[in-house]
Structures are given as C-alpha cells and as structure tokens.
Structure 1
Amino acid sequence: MADHVRWGILGAAKFAREHMGPAIHAARGGRLAALATSGADKAAPFVDRVPGLVVHDSYEALLADPGIDAVYVPLPNHLHVAWTRKALEAGKHVLCEKPIAMAAEEIDTLIATRDATGLLAAEAYMIVHHPQWQKAKALYESGVIGDLVQVRAAFSYDNSADPGNIRNSADSGGGAIPDIGVYIFGGTRFVTGQEPEEILSAQVRRENGVDVWTQVTATFPGFAYSGMVSMRMAPWQEVVFHGTTGLIRLTAPFNPKVFGEARVELLGTDGVHHESVWRFPGDNHYVLQVEAFNRSVLIGAAYPCPLEFSRGTQAMIDMVWAKENAPG
C-alpha cells in the first residue's frame, strides 16, 4: 500500500455524490481513486470533482482493481451485508453505510469475515467522530449532571413527497428506524456506555410496509429512555441527557451544518442555575470519519466505531421489532 488509502465507491448514490465522495476526497491520508457505475451520466459529477478518477462499469470490476485499498458501500440497505463480505473477500477494507445489516446476527458474519481477512470493516456511523458527541460523552463521564435519570431523543424529516425514495421501500430495507433510528439508539449507547435492558413500548405507524413513525420507550441500567423517529414530520433533531443535578443537550446531533449549528449545552441545577455552551460550527463528521478510517488502515490506530458497537445498536433495533410484534 502507498502512504495513503486509495478509495473506491460502489455505486453513484446521491449521498455518495453529495457527502461521502467529497469527504473521501478531502480527508487526510487518502484519496478517491475509483467509482463503479454503469452510467456515464452518474459518474460525471464524481469525475468533475476528481479528474483522473477511474470509472468501472461493474462493482466486481472495482473489487478486482489492485489499485484500490478500501471501498465505500452506499448501496440500498438490503445489499450491505453481501457487498461488505464480497469486498472483504476481495482484499479490500470496507466502510459501509448504515445500517450495515438488517439483523444483529448478520453482523456476526461480518465480524467473522473481518477477523478471517484481517481487514478493517466498519459501519459509516459518523456521529461518534464529531467533537460534539465526544464532548457530550466526556461531560457525562465527568459526573457533572449527577445520576442520569432520563434520555430523550428525537429525529424527524419528511420525505412523503418522494415515494420512490428507497427509504420508502420495504423491499430495499427502508424505514425510519433503519435510516435514523440507528442514531437515536446508538448515540445513547455511545455516551452512556450502557445497553438497553427492556423495550417497554414500541408504537409504530407503517405505510406500505415501512415504518414512517416510531415512538420507543425503554429501560437502561439506571435510567429511562424515550426516542422518536419519523419520515413524515417537520425536520427536528435533539438529544437530552437529564440527570439529578443538570442536563446535557445536543442541538444538531445528527446533521450539523445542515439542520443547524452543532452545540453542546450544559445546564446545571445544583443549587445555583448555570449554563455552559460549546459550539462546533466548522467540523465535518464525514471527513473526520474517513480520516479515522485512514489512520486505522495506515498505522493501526483503534477505530472508534467497530462492528461490535454497530451490532449493539442493531440488537436494540431487533428488540424494538420484537416488541412491536409481540402478542397483546
């Protein structure tokens, strides 16, 4: 391998074109070297951004390219496991969009393939790389809010006007929980280091087999959890960690700079009210994610979001589906 990671992208997805392609191109320690797509028109925006980009006409051709070290997989959800395994077996490191699988046991197969190949495979779970989440975790671990009593998380947007969107397709593994539930569940797990004990309720509204609104309540060791996601509501996102002596609030926890400025607010109530605010106006969590991946590949640095963490989030999603389908 050269002194940088040579990246390829499987498919010219909109998200890859608008976010991850530019992030791979901008991140230190790597460069975007190839794209797999059969449509020249779909390749054009990538080539415009990265002159000299190699364009393969199939995913298999890109995986066979000896000039590629790592691949980014932005394919529809139901294809993630298969193509992550194919890429690993072809000798490529893999960063796959979330959710990396549709059930926790599928991630076990990826962990086994990762370990057998000795390559890095990870879910593109970008929020843990953002300093707002790292600050929230540090504040929580400092004990500044006392004992944690409740976590409230919400993430919503409205794509009802786009019925052809793969998020609105059950066949593609769509739905609000697979798309954004990973954030309200995984973010809670990341900050607290805790796993859910029980899903108390799972209210789910579906359209054409896809969950478009879900409200979940759960118990974690020592605290209660309430989370909502929707693809049929006005855009909103917020996470609050509420303790006995204060609370931590993240104002744009999932789409900073798109939804709003990333801020971490600390409100104290231990006798005297006080408030502190940390702002992160310029950080790009997609770039930070790729840079962390590059460091892991190049120098063996520990990757902040291993597959084991992703499995824990998917296990919570599986618990929600089980509660939804439980009799009574």
Structure 2
Amino acid sequence: MADIVNWGILGAAKFAREHMAPALHQANGARLAALATSSLDKAAPFQAMCPDLSIHLEYDTLLADPGVDAVYIPLPHTMHVEWAIKALKAGKHVLVEKPVAMQADQIDPLIAARDDSGLVAAEAYMIVHHPQWQRARQMIRDGAIGQVAYIDTVFTYDNRKDPDNIRNRAGTGGGALPDIGVYILGAARWVTGAEPRSVDCDITWEGRVDATSRVTARFPGFSYSGMVSMRMLPYQRFTIHGDQGVLELTAPFNAGVYDIAQIIVHQPGMGRRVERFPGVNQYKLQVENFCAAVTSGAEYPWTLENAKGTQAVIDAAYAAAGQPS
C-alpha cells in the first residue's frame, strides 16, 4: 500500500463540504481524489478546494474508480450500511458517518463484510481522536478523581425551522438520539470503558421523531444522566463526578466550533485548574489515524464493534421510552 490514501466521498453533504472534505485535503497521508454527486452545483465548492478532483455522477462509478483507495460516506443514516458494504465489495476502505445503522444488529453484516474483505472499515466518531478526550480517559484510568460516581451530559441545538432536514424526518433516520445521542452515550462508554446495566428514557416526540430525549442509565459503580435535543439553544457539556474530584469537558463534541476544548479539573487541595486544547482539528486527526490504519496497520481507536455498542444503548433507550402514540 502506498503512503498516500486516495479518498472519494459519496455525496456532497453539507457536513462533508464544511468539515470532512477540508480534513481529507489537509491531512497527512491523505489525498481527496474524487466526489460522487449528481449535482455539479454542489460539486463546485469541493472543486474550488481541490481543482483536480474527479467528479462522478453516480456512486457506483466512484466505487469502480481505480484511483480511489478509501471512501467516506456521509449519506443519510438509513443508507450507511448498504453503501459501506458496496464499497468494501469494490475493494475500498470505508469511513462511514455516525450512526452506522438504525439498530445494533444491522451493523453485523457490515462487520462481516469488513472481516471478509480484510479492509479497514470504521465509524467516523471523531471525538475519540481529540486529545481532550484522550486526556480525560487517561485521567480516569489513573484515578485522578477517584472512582467515577456520576456522569451528566447535555448536547442540544435547534433546527425546528428546517422541517425538511433529514434529522427531522423519520424516513431518513432522523431524531435527536440517532444524530447526537451517539455522542453523549458513546463518550460515556469510551471514557470509562464501561457498559450500562440498565437504561431508561423519556422522549418528547414530534410525529415519529424524538425531538428531545432524556436518558438515564446505571453503569457498574456509577449512574448516568444525559439529554439531547433538536429544539433547544445550542449547548454542550460533559461532566464526570468522582468520589475525589470532578472533570468538566467544555466543547466536548464540537471542539473549536462551539468553543475551545478544555478540561476543568477539580481536585481536593488543588482547587480548580484548566487544561486547554486550542487549535486542534479532530476531523484531520481522524483521517490521519484512519490512513495510518490502512498503510501501516496501526490500531484505530473506534471500531464498528464500538459503534454497535453505542447503538445497542440507543436501542435500549427507545425500547424503554416506548413507541410514540
């Protein structure tokens, strides 16, 4: 395998245009080589960034492009597994946006396809690549705040004025839990290395889409409370309470966009101190780590099995809340 991984993107999504395409263009070991979209107007901003970008009018023709080594998939949630499997069968490595699927067991065929292909396939869960989260995880492991006793977290934004947004439509896998529940739940699992024993959830439904979801859970040794909403002022925090201290993570999910990433540490006899992580692009780090996994077999910090674990918690939350009336 060459030292440079040539990337293609399936679909000219806004998130791809604003975050992942620049990351693919800037990351060491990566080259943005191709885009598949039926809209030349949507392709224009990508071409302005990469003038030599190959444009494919069909997803299948990009998958057949011998100049593409890996594919990034930012399609609507319900299309992720289908196109990720197609990409693997076409011999491409795959980085697929979160959530990978709408239910945990739907990820199994993709895991099997990954194993059969011998290629790298993973979920684009960027926060685990950020030094803020890596530092918090190490501090928990080192006992910096003693035993974890309680985690509380919130992630909200407001898109009520955009009813056609895929996040507001059940048919495209919309809802607060699929869109941002992956952050508040996956982060708790990753930073502690623990899995919940029980899950409860209260949901405010709009049709068949959860507009606001409040999740409580019991993990071994600690309790958890998290809320996500698509109908509130944009806000995010993640706080880990230990029996000997507290860690507060600012801008835990959109570092550098929502605010500066920091860990505010409260410890006995040490007062309050702040560790800051300015100027870090977690999307670029994610791409570089993926490329290292492709070219040198380096360990990738977030696997499809990790993604399945978070989806299982989301499934449990929906089951606990019951179906909308």
Instruction: Name the TM tier (shorter chain).
Output: over 0.9
- What SS class does the counterpart of residue 275 from structure 2 fall into? strand
- What SS class does the counterpart of residue 237 from structure 2 fall into? strand
In the other structure, the counterpart of 1:151 is: 151
User: Does 1:310 find its partner at 2:307?
Assistant: yes
In the other structure, the counterpart of 2:272 is: 275
Q: How far does residue 276 in structure 1 lie from its aligned partner after superposition?
A: 2.0
Q: How far does residue 316 in structure 1 lie from its aligned partner after superposition?
A: 0.5
Select which of 283, 300, 319 maps to 1:286.
283
- What SS class does the counterpart of residue 65 from structure 2 fall into? coil
In the other structure, the counterpart of 2:94 is: 94
Please give the alpha-carbon distance, in whole angstroms, between the structure 1 residues aligned to 2:277 and 2:257: 13
Structure 1 unaligned regions, length at least 5 = none
Q: How far does residue 272 in structure 1 lie from its aligned partner after superposition?
A: 2.4
Q: How far does residue 256 in structure 1 lie from its aligned partner after superposition?
A: 1.0
Please give the alpha-carbon distance, in whole angstroms, between the structure 1 residues aligned to 2:21 and 2:313: 30
Equivalenced residues, count:
324
The one-letter amino acid paired with 1:17 is: R
Q: TM-score, normalised by structure 2?
A: 0.98
Please give the alpha-carbon distance, in whole angstroms, between the structure 2 residues aligned to 1:28 and 1:133: 21
- What SS class does the counterpart of residue 35 from structure 2 fall into? strand
In the other structure, the counterpart of 1:242 is: 241
Please give the alpha-carbon distance, in whole angstroms, between the structure 2 residues aligned to 1:273 and 1:57: 59
In the other structure, the counterpart of 2:321 is: 324
In the other structure, the counterpart of 1:299 is: 296
Q: How does 1:196-275 map to 2 (within 5 A)?
A: 196-199=196-199, 201-268=200-267, 271-275=268-272
In the other structure, the counterpart of 2:169 is: 169
User: Does 1:122 find its partner at 2:122?
Assistant: yes
The one-letter amino acid paired with 1:43 is: A
Q: How does 1:1-16 map to 2 (within 5 A)?
A: 1-16=1-16
In the other structure, the counterpart of 1:58 is: 58
Please give the alpha-carbon distance, in whole angstroms, between the structure 2 residues aligned to 1:58 and 1:295: 29
Contact preservation (8 Å) 2:251, 2:260: yes
Q: TM-score, normalised by structure 1?
A: 0.97
Contact preservation (8 Å) 2:2, 2:295: no
The CA deviation string for residues 23-60 of structure 1, in whole angstroms up to 9 with x for no partner, is 00000001000000111111110001001100011000
- What SS class does the counterpart of residue 23 from structure 1 fall into? helix
- Backbone CA RMSD of aligned residues: 1.1
The one-letter amino acid paired with 1:276 is: R
User: Does 1:19 find its partner at 2:11?
Assistant: no
The CA deviation string for residues 226-270 of structure 1, in whole angstroms up to 9 with x for no partner, is 0000000001100011011101110100001111010011101xx
Q: How far does residue 65 in structure 1 lie from its aligned partner after superposition?
A: 0.5
Identical counterparts, % of pairs: 58
Q: How far does residue 273 in structure 1 lie from its aligned partner after superposition?
A: 4.9
In the other structure, the counterpart of 1:190 is: 190
User: Does 1:40 find its partner at 2:40?
Assistant: yes
The CA deviation string for residues 155-207 of structure 1, in whole angstroms up to 9 with x for no partner, is 000001111111001000011000000000000001100001001x3110111
The one-letter amino acid paired with 1:234 is: L
- What SS class does the counterpart of residue 52 from structure 1 fall into? coil
The one-letter amino acid paired with 1:306 is: T
Q: How does 1:133-144 map to 2 (within 5 A)?
A: 133-144=133-144
Please give the alpha-carbon distance, in whole angstroms, between the structure 2 residues aligned to 1:304 and 1:290: 12
The one-letter amino acid paired with 1:181 is: G
Q: How far does residue 208 in structure 1 lie from its aligned partner after superposition?
A: 2.4
The one-letter amino acid paired with 1:226 is: S
The one-letter amino acid paired with 1:290 is: V
Please give the alpha-carbon distance, in whole angstroms, between the structure 1 residues aligned to 2:78 and 2:40: 25
Q: How far does residue 280 in structure 1 lie from its aligned partner after superposition?
A: 0.8
Moved more, 70-79 or 102-111: 102-111
Q: How far does residue 2 in structure 1 lie from its aligned partner after superposition?
A: 2.9
Please give the alpha-carbon distance, in whole angstroms, between the structure 1 residues aligned to 2:2 and 2:261: 35
Please give the alpha-carbon distance, in whole angstroms, between the structure 1 residues aligned to 2:3 and 2:243: 49
